Amino acid sequence: MYSKGQQAHTMSKIHSLRKTHLPVAQNASGRNLNVPVYHIKGSQPGPRVYIQSSIHGAEVQGNVVIYHLLQQLQDQAICGEIVLVPNCNPVGTNIKAGEYTLGRFDPVNGTNWNRGYYYDEQAVHRFADTVSADDSTDAIKTAFRQYQADHIAEKLANPWGLGLAQQLNLRLQQMAVDADIVLDLHNGPVSTRHIYIPDYARHAAMDFNIPHCIFIPNVFAGALDEACFCPWWTLTDALRDRLGVEHNFSVEAFTLEMGSQEVIHFGEGRIDAHSILAYLNRRGVLADCEITPDSMTRVGVSLSDYKTLYTDWGGMVEYLARPGDVVQKGQPLANILNIDELDNARGHQQLLAPCDLIPILHFPSASVLSGTQLYKVFTHYHTLSE
């Protein structure tokens, strides 16, 4: 007993849609594991956009967001190109351990699926040495893209090979390296919506409908957004230092956290897609589009004020403070049950907020060992305004 939820997607007159499949891995049966790639080519020139979802296999809401983007883009006139890659990790999506998806790391060796992208700071400086003061921004941009693409291709051609996560990451990055705009769609464990924004592009906080914003420095820790913005940020700084010239390469990359893992929700996905359209419209990707960011309260923190609260005890936990709540110092965050102490007061204790904070996400299981990331929280946060 099935019904189709939506009209079939008809080919738009104002842009073209093409679907391909890219092999990114091979399983023990010797079979290719592919990612679907949806290419939208606008009828007018404009930015190149790259959007992927589910590099962490249990973080699936982004797939629904891409579904809705494809629906909502049907009627839009597009300037430039948009490449959409849902479910970009066919290995991580399909590793079950119990009823849940063990999607955050390679089950063979623990490697986080989002830490193997390419960035080489020294290579950026070597490139900067080749730039002249009179080179145009466009010429530099074209040359630097090729330079990065060559390095990624070279890594992939390593005669000794590469680990699975890194192979996967680099093949995806080959599609992202040409983009002006890169959006990597994630989820937290149990989480409110939030976004990581490179500090140089902090104005972008006002362009999405996402209430919680984390501003991050020019530091590479392996993730796609960093791999996409660090080179351009570093190059911009290097050219300013070397040549005294200010180039604006207009490349932005963000990690969007679309709520909680292990869950898809079509209704929220429609809203998330709308938020992304508002941003894309501000960047000139949509012609004759009226979608603008909502007027809403947004709060921001520096990455150094985005704290992880680890347990130094094991036990069972009721999460009292919900993601997005405003919590004052001393208010309860969690109830803790200790099953060996049910006959005395240690059987039930409360964990209190060590300072004013907003919980952004919490651990998704009641059962925690010592050293568990119980909550990640905003501290010293501030309200953002245009």
Site for a second copy in 351-380 (CB under 8 A): 351-354, 363-373
Nearer to a second copy (CB atom), residue 52 or residue 236 = 52
Stretch that binds a second copy, among 66-74, 142-150, 209-217, 223-231 (CB under 8 A): 66-74
Positions 1 through 20 that interact with a second copy (CB under 8 A): 1-9, 17, 19
Stretch that binds a second copy, among 144-152, 208-216, 278-286, 350-358 (CB under 8 A): 350-358
Distance of CA 110 to the CA centre of its chain: 20
Nearer to a second copy (CB atom), residue 81 or residue 252 = 81
Q: Shortest distance, CB of residue 376 to a second copy, whole angstroms?
A: 10
Positions 140 through 179 that interact with a second copy (CB under 8 A): 159-168
> Which of 143, 291, 337, 384 touches a second copy (CB under 8 A)?
337
Nearer to a second copy (CB atom), residue 22 or residue 143 = 22
**Coil vs helix vs strand at 39:** strand
> Which of 133, 219, 296, 339 touches a second copy (CB under 8 A)?
339
End-to-end alpha-carbon separation of the chain, Å? 50
The DSSP bridge pattern shows strands 332-337 and 348-352 to be antiparallel
Burial class (CB in 10 A: 0-12, 13-18, 19+), 298: buried
Q: Shortest distance, CB of residue 326 to a second copy, whole angstroms?
A: 18
Q: Judged by CB under 8 A, does residue 219 bind a second copy?
A: no
**Coil vs helix vs strand at 101:** strand
> Which of 42, 46, 47, 189 touches a second copy (CB under 8 A)?
189
Q: Shortest distance, CB of residue 5 to a second copy, whole angstroms?
A: 4
Nearer to a second copy (CB atom), residue 245 or residue 337 = 337
Exposure pattern of 249-286 as b/e (b: 16+ CB <10 Å)?
bebbbbbbbbbbbbebeeebbbebbbbbbbbbbbbbbb
> Which of 42, 80, 90, 359 touches a second copy (CB under 8 A)?
90
> Which of 47, 86, 231, 293 touches a second copy (CB under 8 A)?
86
Positions 310 through 329 that interact with a second copy (CB under 8 A): 310-318
Q: Shortest distance, CB of residue 232 to a second copy, whole angstroms?
A: 28
Burial class (CB in 10 A: 0-12, 13-18, 19+), 187: buried
Positions 227 through 266 that interact with a second copy (CB under 8 A): 262-266
Q: Judged by CB under 8 A, does residue 52 bind a second copy?
A: no
Positions 108 through 137 that interact with a second copy (CB under 8 A): 108-112
For 332, residues 6+ apart whose C-beta sits below 8 A from its C-beta are 320, 321, 350, 351, 352, 353
> Which of 246, 288, 340, 386 touches a second copy (CB under 8 A)?
340
> Which of 52, 63, 236, 281 touches a second copy (CB under 8 A)?
63
Question: DSSP assignment of 264-302, as one string?
Answer: --HHHHHHHHHHHHHHHHHTT-EES----------EEEE
| Structure-token pair, residue 298 | 């947004």
Instruction: With CA atoms as reference, report the closest residue to 206 among 300, 293, 281, 274.
Output: 293
Residues paired with residue 35 on neighbouring β-strands, in sequence order: 22
Q: Judged by CB under 8 A, does residue 222 bind a second copy?
A: no
The DSSP bridge pattern shows strands 252-260 and 181-188 to be parallel
Nearer to a second copy (CB atom), residue 171 or residue 202 = 171
Q: Shortest distance, CB of residue 113 to a second copy, whole angstroms?
A: 9
| Structure-token pair, residue 16 | 């073209």
Positions 261 through 290 that interact with a second copy (CB under 8 A): 262-266
Cβ-based neighbour number of residue 296 at 10 Å:
9
